Structure 1
Amino acid sequence: MDACIFFFIIIILSATSSATVMATPSLDLVQSSCLHATFPKVCIHTLSIYQGPVSTPRELAQAAIKVSISGATKASQYLSGLRKEANWREKVAVKDCASQIADSVDDLRKTLGELKELRRGTFRWQMSNAETWVSAALTNEDTCLDGFKEVEGKVRSDVKQKITNVAKVTSNALYLINRLDHP
């Protein structure tokens, strides 16, 4: 009986590890796609650990957008918490930044929806929409940081680090979208 249980556990573990391997992107696809991205190391790192099915450039671009949405959402949550602790000058910058990042999340979500529905007859139009929305998200992230030019200290450096990281993955997502050439 013990041998049967041991064998059964081995089969379960093998199936689980195979599923995990298949659920992460191919390292070759990630490396070749990220090679000329604006931030190639960030691109390779964030997408090689992405948990989801990715086997085509289109799915990789969608994964990059999902990573960007996740980062922007976390930054938005951080900013919401920061509003309670900030001084008056910081509160103004944090409030404006939170609004900009919320707009970025909306733009990125619209982009993801568009990428999921790419069609041959409307491909160029849809790609234009996706590129415009990701560019707008990048602009919002940059505008967020502009509000902290008059703010000094830890709040400024923490926000700058978080938003810069989001901007890097968003920039890489735009690069991967620009590489798509058919539905």
Structure 2
Amino acid sequence: MESPFFLLTILLFLSSSPAAVKSKPGASNDLVRSSCVHASYPSLCFRTLSSYTGPADTPRDLAQAAVKVSLSRARKVSTLLRRRVALAGKSKRERAALSDCVEQISDSVEELSKTLGELKHLRGETLGFQLSNAQTWVSAALTNEDTCLDGFEGVEGKVKSEVKRKMSNVAKVTSNALYMINRFNESRG
């Protein structure tokens, strides 16, 4: 029969192995914290990525997670804006601005979806090209979000304030996603 001391020694050894350390939530949070520190919106970055339920153990995981967060929020805003356009009683200018925003956020959803697909299927021989595509698409999504808000120039009221708040939030997580893609790109070289 093994002594209790021997079993305790084995348990301590196993719990300090690299596989055990990697699976600890604290290790993922350390990577998230160190990765988010220089993001455009560090506290938002940490909050959204530390609560992310998927893998967050590598810079690639974080880039994918950040794009998923951005895509999820863009989809929610897209649904909200589509409902807003359907409501009657708005000025012609406000309806036009909302319609433009629906188109812009729809384009952002498409670009973020393509980005996520690209990040999920990275291949060694085309990695640089794929990351360049991802950076381009996320940058385009950011531009779309800004363009949406430009359409509300000269429009006042509750709808403008709500759209501005929602689009600003999507733009912030999208900016952080672009940062994570850039960071992943830099970490591989």
Query: What corresponds to 2:177 in structure 1?
Result: 173
1:57 is aligned, of 42, 54, 59, to 59
- Classify the secondary structure of the residue corresponding to 1:148: coil
2:32/2:56 contact within 8 Å kept? no
Match runs of 1:33-52 below 5 Å: 33-52=35-54
Change (3 A) 1:120 1:26: same
Query: What corresponds to 1:31 in structure 2?
Result: 33
What's the TM-score, normalizing by structure 1? 0.84
Kindly provide the CA deviation profile for residues 101-142 of structure 1, in whole angstroms up to 9, marking residues without a partner as x. Answer: 000000000000111111221111111100000000000000
1:138 is aligned, of 120, 137, 142, to 142
Distance in 1, matches of 2:25 and 2:155, equals: 43
Change (3 A) 1:66 1:120: same
Distance in 1, matches of 2:27 and 2:46, equals: 10
Cα offset, 1:84, TM superposition: 2.3
Query: What corresponds to 2:83 in structure 1?
Result: 81
Uncovered stretches (5+) of structure 1, i.e. residues with no partner: 1-20
Could you list the runs of 4 or more consecutive aligned residues of structure 1 that deviate by over 4 angstroms after TM superposition?
21-25
1:24/1:51 contact within 8 Å kept? no
Q: Which amino acid aligns with 1:40?
A: P
Match runs of 1:8-27 below 5 Å: 26-27=28-29
CA RMSD of aligned residues (A): 1.8
What's the TM-score, normalizing by structure 2? 0.82
Distance in 2, matches of 1:139 and 1:146, equals: 10
Aligned residues between the structures: 163
Match runs of 1:84-95 below 5 Å: 84-85=86-87, 87=90, 88-95=92-99
Percent of pairs identical after alignment?
60
Change (3 A) 1:90 1:63: same
Cα offset, 1:27, TM superposition: 1.0
